[in-house]
Chains A and B, each alone.
Chain A
Amino acid sequence: MMDTKNIMIVGVGGQGTLLASKLLGAVLLGRGYDVKVSEVHGMSQRGGSVVTYVRWGDRVYSPVIDEGEADIILSFELLEAARYLRFLKKGGRIIVNTQRMDPMPVITSAAAYPENLVEKMKSAGADVDAADFLSLANQAGSARAVNVALLGRLSRLLPEITEETWLEAIAKGVPPKFVDVNQQAFLLGRAQA
């Protein structure tokens, strides 16, 4: 009996977290796992904080991941990584895009964007893997491919899934004219050390 594995994907509404969870869910189902992916639509998609839960194993019950349960957090934005850190298991891995997007209280000067978040998350005991995935996406040809670049980095932690499987899932999961850019972004993210 395999323990259920938990990955949280967090970011800002509009960053493409839903595509990342869709691709991840598809490759895990293809491996024969029981999979649950939980997301929230509606209000929060308007630039709010968004979170998607991906769980897989022999038999998955709850569709959500709770505090202290995530094996991995994949964060599209720095502040969102810090916000959801409490969901990470002790010693869990957090992959974070260092892109900074000011939330409205920061824009209106009602609050300050915290400094040195990567160091602070490390001090709190998290295994932090921080990089500028937006640059990788731009290098691949589109800032919008940042989600797939992050997925490429995540793929290194899932050795049972081959590169070919991922590239096929991308080819099936995005519109034909964006396949090349996304596959390129995926490979750049995967290669990025």
Chain B
Amino acid sequence: MKELMLGNKAVARGLYEAGCRFISSYPGTPSTEITEEAARYEEIDCEWAPNEKVALEAAHGATLGGVRAACAMKHVGLNVAADPLFTISYQGLNAGLVICVADDPGMHSSQNEQDSRHYAEAAKVPMLEPSDSEEARRFARYAFELSEQYNTPVFLKMCTRVAHSQSVVEPEARTEKERVPYVKDPGKVMMTGNSRSAHQRVEKRTRELALLAEESPLNRIEMGDRKIGVITASTSYQYAREVFGDGASILKLGMTWPLPEKKIRDFAAQVECLYVLEELDPFIENQVRALGLTVHGKDVFPVCGEFSQNLVRRCMGLEAPEGAALEEAIPVRPPVMCAGCPHRGVFHILKKKKCMVYGDIGCYTLGAIAPLNAMDLNVCMGASCSGLHGFVKAIGEEAAHHSVGVIGDSTFIHSGITGITEIAYNMSNSTIIILDNSITGMTGHQQNPTTGKNLRGEPAGKVNLEALCRAVGIERVRVVDPYDLKAVEAAVDEELAADAPSVIISRRPCVMIKGTVHKPPIAVDAAKCVGCKACMSIGCPAISFREKQARIDPTLCIGCRVCGQLCRFGALPAPEQEA
């Protein structure tokens, strides 16, 4: 039966239909729903791993154990998983392995705009790119066949628009796969001699896959008007069809590595003017140029940002529709920390102390936005710990007493543990604040190794953060409640002053976790509010300013009473006034 399905859900469906038995992933927008949706099928053992490297190694291990396995990650996650990727490509498998990776052109929810297709070429791993949900389902299913036939991991590359668009899917039944017995093979140990022959095998495999690409129905030609020929893939294919209809001929690539040389040459010979329409880098374009063909690509279309039909129209010199617009400036509406967010109090204190704040990846990156403005920089998962260490080493005492690294619980497990080990081992006087909100917040509330629950919400192992920090050699470890501003300030003062590395764990569950009990909303005492706006300095979306006084939106306020600790006039209830 036809069903409207999110692209990521369709991937999960395809993996399920193919008989996949194990999925290990780390959440990351826009890839997260692949694993969440797959977890609805009890036949698949799904888990959140501490990071993408672990996830890929676990999924590969499962294929050596003889079952079809997969993992899913966002584009930057693939950087973390790159180490096992390149050697898994050499070593091979014992059952199919599919690596789902989701790019984010336009950076809706990412810190960079890297193009994952380069990894396919670099690691010599074939890549399939669906352009809608039905293709996502079919390609995910087919990826396992390809993987086993050629003894290679296979990339299933998504992008935000394919991952987060719903389109019509026709699900099929699951095919169960027998577990393949494990047999010891001395050639599997990747050291010099074996690796040399493995590399030979990989090069041969890529040549064979290139031949397959010539014949594969995944790469199809749709002839229309021959004046314009467009080579395209993924969501760009949809924009091409939207703009040109039958007014151009299209070579639609479903497999973007390796590319079908002959098919491209044949297509080029049939059209007058050849274009490559692809988001981000000129990946296909460079290959087409290397064939000696004349082609337009990034001379016409941008490298940066997401495409749309009007962008394609304008780049092609076609007329694009225009809508009515107001002359008025419309204030921007950036995302904000939720009302009652436990991170808010910590950033308020760090701003007050004028600290250099090395941030990290998560909801708390929003601490960089006005009015808190309490983050100096961030790079990637875990850099707050190791980056701060280098910063303190370079500047010395002055930095040690005024700088902190700020990292979430899930991010800390992902890549912060090695960073604080660096701090302890190489002895920098660094202060790290772990914002432990007991969940992976930004990506939509996934469990992680600090929460005591697994992906399905069942009881699981639980990391003791205090014991872990002490075990790597940090002697000063303390826990504070971020709703208590005085306690946070005292902890920050003391740990910055101390001549030893320290970790402050700011512990309070995310207010959006289901089951978190909220206190009743508070109200402004209009007789006492003088309109000083001190309460507004924390950027709580529940507080607005109307008729020269602060006003609390009772539908947003959860009664955290952090604002009450800023009011010097008693117009907002402070925590100690509770009955």
Contact = CB atoms under 8 A, between A and B. Distances in A.
Chain A interface residue number, banded: 35 or more
A41 B331 contact: no
Given A41-B29, A48-B333, A104 B541 contact: yes
B193 to A, nearest CB: 46
A104 B323 contact: no
Given A69-B321, A107-B539, A40 B369 contact: no
A62 B108 contact: no
Interface in A40-72: 40-49, 60-64, 66-70
Contacts of B241: 61-62
Given A63-B165, A124-B324, A143 B330 contact: no
Contact of A79 (B320, B330, B533): B330
B396 interface: no
A88 B218 CA distance: 36
Interface in B294-335: 308-311, 320-326, 328-335
A179 interface: no
A94 to B, nearest CB: 10
Nearest to B371: A108
A62 B164 contact: no
Contacts of B161: 38, 63-64
Chain B interface residue number, banded: 35 or more
Interface string A1-45: 000000000001100000000000110010000111111111111
Nearest to A108: B371
B328 A67 contact: no
A187 B172 CA distance: 37
B473 to A, nearest CB: 35
B238 A113 contact: no
Nearest to B539: A104
B108 A120 contact: no
Given A25-B4, A63-B235, A90 B335 contact: no
Nearest to A4: B242
Nearest to A103: B333
A80 B330 CA distance: 9
Contact of A86 (B108, B132, B322): B322
Nearest to A66: B310
Contacts of A12: 333
Contact of A87 (B323, B443, B533): B323
A79 B442 contact: no
A181 interface: no
